[in-house]
Amino acid sequence: MADAEITQARPEPASAPTADELAAAGLRLEVDGAVATVTLDRPERRNAMTFTTWRTLARVGATLPEQIRVVVLRGEGPSFSAGIDLGMFSGGGEGFSDGADAEATDAFIADLQRGYTWLRDPRFVTVAAVQGHVIGGGFQLALACDIRIAADDARFCMKEPALGLVPDLTGTKPLVEIVGVNRALELCLTARTVGAEEAARLGIAETVVPREGLDAAVGELVAALLAVNPGAAVATKRLLWEASENTLEQQCAAERREQIGRLREMFGGQKQS
Ligand code: ACO
């Protein structure tokens, strides 16, 4: 994603959610040095997410402390997430938009999508640690992250078309980029469940580990990510996410631009002419 798109996607201004606001959104946030862990925390509802969850996630993303280099997104309990809280569709849940006013509905959905787009911000690497059900908006949330680690009991399902909807929480682009349009179509239009092994084969999960080893595997990955030079990590993430949009020529230019930044940072002012 280009920088400009990321900048536009960031809500302005945003205030950091309080602990009460996080709890009301079904979220928990822990910051430990350079690592922020965001936990979907409604296990009794299989971490089903509300509109408030997504709006609060956007605020979390926009207000993370400067020192954060890795964000881990995880789910409490047996499942990562059962997707949208189905209560949102009934009783006009949380200002549900019925589409009658196209402009207002467009703005409504764009607002919810901000809960996802911040995960591409090059300031940090985002890791989804998923187990159990990873459905609909939950699947899209995992797709919005840079890296996915799945427990061997993870079950992915893009359920939206089966409910008469399209996946609209930023997931169609990464899904197509990962599995190709034909497989994406098959997965979405059958709304079938993909187990962890197949997910790994398709590239939906980078790693699959035994369920009991998920936290340890995430810890190891985070440690490895933190061992890399921070500036190089930011520049490399920016570069890699630009690659699929760019021509070879544009990408070569982007590599040169980023490398000049790195060289200046590492050696600037030291060379005597
Ligand atoms: N919204 C609201 N409540 C939910 C949701 C949801 N998406 N998913 C689960 N729950 C609730 C259940 O109603 C149940 O509540 P109860 O204890 O009051 O009966 C509780 O969470 C536990 O759910 P179970 O079905 O008992 O748990 P189980 O582990 O057997 O099944 C599963 C989990 C497969 C996720 C099942 O609950 C399910 O199919 N949920 C709906 C999934 C769905 O259609 N999501 C929307 C996708 S589209 C989108 O995200 C945009």
Cβ(26) – ligand 1 distance below 6 Å: no
Question: Quick check: 22 and 28 in contact, CB under 8 A?
Answer: yes
CATH fold of 230-267, please?
Lyase 2-enoyl-coa Hydratase; Chain  A, domain 2 (1.10.12)
The minimum-distance atom of ligand 1 relative to the CA of 137 is 50
Going from the Cα of 230 to the center of ligand 1, the distance in angstroms, rounded, reads 39
Of residues 243 and 12, more confidently modeled: 243
Q: Is 55 in the pocket of ligand 1 (CB under 6 A)?
A: no
Q: What is the pLDDT of residues 194-231, one digit of tens each?
A: 999 999 999 999 999 999 999 999 999 999 999 999 99
Measured from the CB, is residue 133 less than 6 Å from ligand 1? Answer: yes
Burial 85-104 (b: 16+ CB within 10 A, else e): beebeeeeeeeebeeeeeee
- What top-level class would CATH report for the domain 3-226? alpha beta
Centre of ligand 1 to C-alpha 119, Å, is 25
**Cα 251 from Cα 257, distance rounded (Å):** 10
Handedness of CA 251, 257, 260, 261 (dihedral sign): negative
**Which tokens belong to 91?**
């009783």
Kindly state if the Cβ of 136 falls inside 6 Å of ligand 1: yes
Residue whose C-alpha is closest to residue 81's, from 124, 38, 111, 117:
38
For the Cβ of 46 lying below 6 angstroms from any atom of ligand 1, the answer is yes
CA-nearest of 87, 25, 28 to 56 is 25
State the average pLDDT over residues 229-239.
98
Residue nearest to atom 4 of ligand 1 (CA): 45
Q: Is the CB of 168 under 6 A from ligand 1?
A: no
Task: Output the residue whose Cα is nearest ligand 1's atom 18.
Answer: 45
Q: Mean pLDDT, the chain, as a whole number?
A: 94
- The helix (run of H) or strand (run of E) holding residue 40 is strand 35-40
Any atom of ligand 1 within 6 Å of the Cβ of 161: no
Indicate the pTM of the whole model: 0.94
Least confident of 48-62, 95-109, 172-186: 95-109
Task: Give the pLDDT score at 270.
Answer: 72
Q: How far is the CA of 46 from the centre of ligand 1 (A)?
A: 6
**pLDDT tens sequence across 13-38:** 789 999 999 999 999 999 999 999 99
If one residue of 46, 52, 96, 116 were mutated to test the ligand 1 pocket, choosing by the most ligand atoms within 8 A of its CB, it would be 46
Q: Which atom of ligand 1 is nearest to the CA of 136?
A: 50
pLDDT band at 3 (very low <50, low <70, confident <90, very high): very low
Domain boundaries, the chain: 3-226, 230-267
pLDDT at residue 5, as a whole number = 45
